[in-house]
Chain A
Amino acid sequence: MSIQLNNLTLTYERHPAVHHLTATIDRGEWFAIVGPNGAGKSTLLNAMAGLTIIDEGSIEGLNPNSVAYLPQQTQLDRSFPITVLELVVTGLWSKLGYSKSLSSVHYKHCSDAIAAVGLQGFEHRMIDTLSGGQLQRTLFARVLVQDQPVILLDEPFNAIDAKTLSDLTGVIKQWHQKQRTIIMVTHDLDYVKQHCPNTLLLARECIGYGLTQDVLTRENLQRASQLSEAFDEAADDCVRGAA
């Protein structure tokens, strides 16, 4: 099933952060969402994860319970006394809930995920001893364990070295082969051109979406970069699409 964004508007205090966005993301596609700072990329991702109230329009074909979401790291309490393995196990929450016990199958699933992101031997390290890259690998392992058809990644490669970037890109490519829908916010255009088949270029409004080489043209990027970050305090009510 494809994800449809119908005339979607998301606002902060009535000022649009995402404005009348209409787009379709087919199942199994690997979509990059790019655009300048303040273009509404993370806001859009939050809305898809079911964390933001939708002001106008709708998102169809996306069940918030079948989404694995990797937000930017800053929201994690790194001082909490928990091991890498335990943090990865929390990815099983939607399956195990309050009381179901952790079986050896689950346990193996988690160890395999930790191995898949290249963290063998780190299972019992506390998360406050991890480097930024190792923590990001851990969070990727948790997304693996969540095992959902739709995967949302918010700036997954911020402050990540080349080796970690290429390892984690390998993980994403495996998701892509398994027909998972991957939606990734990033500002690294070179990365997008090299790896992501599809792109949505956002500057509050949709500048373009579709195949990456068709979207990331010089004219489109020029248009996107003209976005004024400041909200217009004297702006009139928007009448577009109003009945």
Chain B
Amino acid sequence: MKLLMTACVVLPDMNSFLLEPFGEYVFMQRALIGSLAVCLGAVPVGLFMTLRRMSLTGDAMAHAILPGAAIAYLLSGLSLIGLTLGGLVAGLVVAALAGWVARSTHLKEDTSLAAFYLISLALGVLVISLKRSNIDLFHVLFGNILALDNAALWLLASIGSISLLLLAVLYRPLVIECVDPWFLRRSGKASSIAHYGFLFLMVINLVAGFHALGTLMAIGIMILPAAAARFWAKTLDSILIISMLMSFAGCYTGLLLSFYADLPAGPAIILCLGVVYIASLFIGLNGGLLVKHPAKRHLTG
């Protein structure tokens, strides 16, 4: 009884603790909407990246995008359209060249991607140093999730929606390309469409991610939920749903944490996802380290 009474007193407090920041402050609402919009596209794309053993490819692509954004910044300043286009162009050119070399020569994808992103990075550094201006790439590196304006929200929502639609169309060839690439390569163009379509998805989601969380943090939203969810589910559809829910929870708690503890939002979100990942690593029911050898005896057959 006493417990119940305490609960009645504490719960409304909890409610206001959990909801008030988003009810009272518009910038928190925008941050929540923006980060959830990023999750919509980035999480499923990230899952396919982990399944195709491309987890680190995202990192390389983020470096490839950075110079494009830097050059755009030099030309047009801190404009949403400029930064988006710069990032998109640099990312797509590097992705397309790397994909083309991997598919038409004996170089593997990781090597050809490394080659092109390093060229892109060097070009970016060169352009910046030629201009001799001490430009502030803070926005690109760390994003500004707490200062999203309407245009930025529209951009994030559009990229999320386009990603979901494109994924729905490419889902079958993507799955087949992952399990058995040679099977699809025989059936005409589908293999190339799936491959380049996926690289396109990766680039637009990294660009969406850098507006919200910055280039380096954006990959966290792609990879961490996907890696964590694999400790909870076996089938592709359940992994997809669980990783999506985990990413939503991570964004929500990360923003709360950043609000109350006065921490930068991007790293707070990614650290929350990191906690989810490490917890899953140990207690995940599908192969977590602590539940790998269950106490129950084996079956007879």
User: Do the two chains belong together in a single complex?
Assistant: yes
Q: Is A16 an interface residue when CB atoms closer than 8 A count as contact? A: no
Q: Is B244 an interface residue when CB atoms closer than 8 A count as contact? A: no
- Mask, A55-77, CB within 8 Å of B = 1, is 00000000011010101000111
Interface footprint category on A: 20 to 34
Tell me the dominant secondary structure on chain B's binding face: helix
Interface footprint category on B: 20 to 34
Known: A90-B180, A98-B173, A99-B169. A82 touches B236 (CB 8 A): yes
Q: Which of B170, B178, B179, B234: most chain A Cβ within 10 A?
A: B179
Q: From residue 219 to 246 of chain B, which have CB atoms closer than 8 A to chain A?
A: 230, 234-236, 239
Q: Name the B residues within 8 Å of A67 (CB-CB).
A: 186
Q: Name the B residues within 8 Å of A90 (CB-CB).
A: 172, 175-176, 179-180, 183
Q: Is the CB of A93 within 8 A of B176?
A: yes
**A90 to B183 CA separation, bound complex (whole angstroms):** 9
From B172, B180, B188, A77 is in contact (CB under 8 Å) with B180
Q: Is A118 an interface residue when CB atoms closer than 8 A count as contact? A: no
**A126 to B233 CA separation, bound complex (whole angstroms):** 12
Known: A94-B187, A98-B172. A51 touches B182 (CB 8 A): yes
Q: Is A83 an interface residue when CB atoms closer than 8 A count as contact? A: yes
Q: Is A144 an interface residue when CB atoms closer than 8 A count as contact? A: no
Q: Which residue of chain A has its CB nearest to the CB of B53?
A: A77
CB of B299 to closest CB in A, whole Å: 14
CB of A92 to closest CB in B, whole Å: 10
Q: From residue 82 to 100 of chain A, which have CB atoms closer than 8 A to chain B?
A: 82-83, 87, 90, 93-94, 96-99
**A195 to B270 CA separation, bound complex (whole angstroms):** 61
Q: Name the A residues within 8 Å of B172 (CB-CB).
A: 90, 93, 96-98
Q: Is B185 an interface residue when CB atoms closer than 8 A count as contact? A: yes
From A65, A76, A81, A97, B239 is in contact (CB under 8 Å) with A81
CB of A46 to closest CB in B, whole Å: 9
Q: Which of B172, B176, B183, B230: most chain A Cβ within 10 A?
A: B183
**A57 to B180 CA separation, bound complex (whole angstroms):** 30
Q: Name the B residues within 8 Å of A71 (CB-CB).
A: 182
Q: Name the A residues within 8 Å of B77 (CB-CB).
A: none
**A182 to B167 CA separation, bound complex (whole angstroms):** 37
Q: Is A192 an interface residue when CB atoms closer than 8 A count as contact? A: no
Q: Name the B residues within 8 Å of A77 (CB-CB).
A: 178-180
**A87 to B193 CA separation, bound complex (whole angstroms):** 20
Q: Which residue of chain A has its CB nearest to the CB of B176?
A: A90
- Mask, B183-206, CB within 8 Å of A = 1, is 111111010000000000000000
**A64 to B183 CA separation, bound complex (whole angstroms):** 12
From B169, B182, B230, A98 is in contact (CB under 8 Å) with B169
**A14 to B169 CA separation, bound complex (whole angstroms):** 41
Further pairs besides A65-B188, A87-B180: 10, Cβ < 8 Å: A50-B186, A77-B179, A81-B230, A81-B235, A87-B179, A90-B183, A94-B187, A96-B172, A97-B172, A98-B170
Report 25 cross-chain contacts, Cβ distance below 8 Å, ordered by A residue.
Answer: A49-B186, A65-B187, A65-B188, A69-B182, A69-B186, A75-B180, A75-B181, A75-B182, A76-B179, A76-B180, A77-B179, A80-B175, A82-B175, A82-B179, A90-B172, A90-B175, A90-B179, A90-B180, A93-B172, A93-B176, A93-B183, A93-B190, A98-B173, A98-B190, A126-B234
